[in-house]
Homo-oligomer: A and B are copies of this chain.
Amino acid sequence: MSDTWSAFEARMNELSDLGGVMGLLGWDEQTMCPPGGRGARAHHGATIATIAHQRVVDPAYGEAIEAAGVLPDLTVAQQAMVREARRSRDKATKLPESFVRALAEQRSATNQAWEHARGTKSFADYQPALEKLMRLKVEEADHLKGEGTRYDALLDDFEPGMRLERLQPLLESLRDRLVPFAQRVLDAPQPDTSVLSQGFATADQYAFSLRVLSDLGFDFEHGRQDLSTHPFTGGTAPSDVRLTTRVWEDWLPACLYATVHECGHGMYEQGLPNHLAGTMLNQAAGMGIHESQSRFWENFVGRSLPFFRYLAPRMGALWPTESFSAEQLFGAANRVERSLIRVESDEATYNLHIIVRFTLEVAIVEGKLQAADLPEAWNEAYRTIVGVVAPSPKTGVLQDVHWSSGYFGYFPSYTVGNLYAASFAQCMLRDLPDFWGQVERGEFGAILGWLRTHVHQKGHLTDAPEIFRAVVGDRDPVEDLVAHLWTRQGAVYGVTRPR
């Protein structure tokens, strides 16, 4: 290995370590840190973030990247490392320091205004702060955008390699097929969900979640699960992945599906390519593909009838006085509703909530929608796409924290994840003829093995769209997702897809 390459690699390793340290700080803050330690913790996090930023923008790092990039005979992986290092450094250096500070301050101010406005339920209390942040995000996009659109520039933080011109038709086509589907299902009688709220002790639910994690294939030698208010997947490295879950005693899915969802994220992290540890390729290829892993396990596997056939006897052994039939559980876990709140919505309508936000944020970033007009645009989009209108901004435009945190371009990843997952699932059914038999028997090894081979082991050698295409060929993910929903919810509601 040449000295030139070693110099680049040492800097890359250092940044990877700083990322791992930030991962620990973040995980600890949400799980272990005593309340009175949060102030000091904020200083610790800011100091590490500042050091990492200084290292990225250091001109010597830029020279190290470029010197490494022109070395002869670089492997494909080495070329990809140079590409990722250059990409992240370009982004960091394109933004003037004074702008970065102003943006950070406005994010903090807008977040506070959002918290406050959720209390007063008044959009007017939020609007001025949001307006300022929107202006800064447009400015940020103008700094960052190369040949793409402003929206592309922001999207790139979450979906590297994705472009608005490819994303928009996908989501519009999904919308046009989901709206009539949801209508058809909602006209049918609703399943009974009482089986899920029989009352389950916290310790039992938690122990059960550990059992499920273990069965699915989460590796406790390289990870752990704890409790937190909002479930998440964090950790310090692919060899140290930390999931969290929560428990609601009167609603079994709160813990079970948080665990299965985060397990999907966690197994992706654990499956990233070991031999690229310490490099920027030992990371997810994007947020959508990350989400595809959690949604695949949570929805495609986790809400299937075979999965409930695996679960029901095990639940029955733990709670012998309750009653669980796989069919009841299957119906209850697949109930569809027109609901106001994205995070509580079902597999079918979830994507409609995302499409509302995507439509609005594209208009915002393109300067076609002002903060003052947002509540009306929100309600109008909800009326036509989801079919409900919020009685107050708190359950309407003020429900998500994303925009207040400056995360414009983030929402699509959730639906991209569902789309990727739908096509991955169809490929797996083709490659693993006994797929559902294995699920029913609680044998998840071959399924996880398929994901390891085709997704996890790819790391970030290429961007997610390329990983996806290499596996699924020319499958249409919109069709795969819609067909899956007709099959799944069709079985629950007794409806069939019109020809």
Contact = CB atoms under 8 A, between A and B. Distances in A.
Total identical chains: 2
Given A47-B14, A51-B51, A34 B237 contact: no
Contact of A221 (B13, B35, B224, B235): B35
Interface in A210-269: 219-224, 235-237, 239-240
Interface stretch (A20-28, A176-184, A394-402, A445-453): A20-28
Contact of A237 (B40, B51, B223, B224): B40
Q: Which 7 A-B pairs have the closest CB atoms?
A: A37-B240, A40-B237, A17-B47, A36-B222, A36-B221, A20-B44, A36-B239
B37 A222 contact: yes
Contact of A236 (B17, B44, B223, B237): B44
A32 interface: yes
A43 interface: yes
A47 B20 CA distance: 11
A222 to B, nearest CB: 4
B278 A34 contact: no
A369 interface: no
Given A20-B44, A40-B236, 14 more contacts: A13-B43, A17-B46, A17-B48, A18-B47, A20-B43, A21-B21, A21-B47, A24-B28, A33-B236, A34-B220, A34-B239, A35-B221, A36-B219, A41-B240
B17 A44 contact: yes
Interface residues of A, number: 37
A67 to B, nearest CB: 22
Contacts of A47: 13-14, 17-18, 21
Given A40-B240, A239-B40, A224 B34 contact: yes
A320 interface: no
A277 interface: yes
A433 interface: no
A35 B219 CA distance: 11
A189 interface: no
Contacts of A48: 17, 21
A219 B48 CA distance: 27
A61 B51 CA distance: 16
A34 B278 CA distance: 18
Contacts of A20: 40, 43-44
Nearest to A21: B44
B40 A277 contact: yes
Contacts of A21: 21, 25, 44, 47-48
Nearest to A16: B43
A101 to B, nearest CB: 15
19 contacts: A13-B43, A14-B47, A20-B43, A21-B21, A21-B48, A24-B28, A32-B224, A33-B240, A34-B224, A34-B239, A37-B223, A37-B239, A39-B239, A40-B236, A41-B237, A41-B240, A43-B278, A44-B237, A51-B51
Interface string A1-29: 00000000000011001101100110010
A45 to B, nearest CB: 9
A18 B48 CA distance: 8
Contacts of A40: 20, 236-237, 239-240, 277
A43 B17 CA distance: 7
Contacts of A32: 32, 224
Contacts of A237: 37, 40-41, 44
A42 to B, nearest CB: 10
Contacts of A51: 51
A47 B219 CA distance: 26
